[in-house]
Amino acid sequence: MHTITEAKIYEEQGLREEALEIYKNILKRDKNNQAAKEGIYRLSGAKVHKLELNLLMYDFFMNAKSEQEYNEFKRWLINI
């Protein structure tokens, strides 16, 4: 089972993708884990302009099921 501490260690070592995967796995277990959400925001480059919109897009990303949905999320990230 992965932990926030483990993700932070990977992040500090520059292993961003590995840390991001751990944060995502933690959120799959606990959708309210604020530290994991912050890690995803930090590593994905998302800026917190409007919290409600960011949370909506976060939910969209976590529930994306197709390449088209991932591409839509990428376009949103580019525009923020």
CB-based contacts of 28: which residues, under 8 Å, 6+ apart? 62
Query: Do residue 5 and residue 37 come from a single domain?
Result: yes
Distance CA 35, CA 52 (A): 17
pLDDT of 6 reads 97
In which domain, by residue range, is 56 found? 48-80
Query: Do residue 19 and residue 34 come from a single domain?
Result: yes
Domains in the chain, number? 2
Query: Do residue 5 and residue 36 come from a single domain?
Result: yes
Query: Do residue 40 and residue 5 come from a single domain?
Result: yes
| Mean pLDDT, the chain cut into blocks of 10 residues (80 residues total) | 95 91 93 91 66 72 84 76
pLDDT of 68 reads 87
Query: Do residue 23 and residue 54 come from a single domain?
Result: no
Query: Do residue 5 and residue 39 come from a single domain?
Result: yes
Query: Do residue 64 and residue 31 come from a single domain?
Result: no
pLDDT of 48 reads 47
pTM of the model: 0.57
CB-based contacts of 60: which residues, under 8 Å, 6+ apart? 69, 72, 73
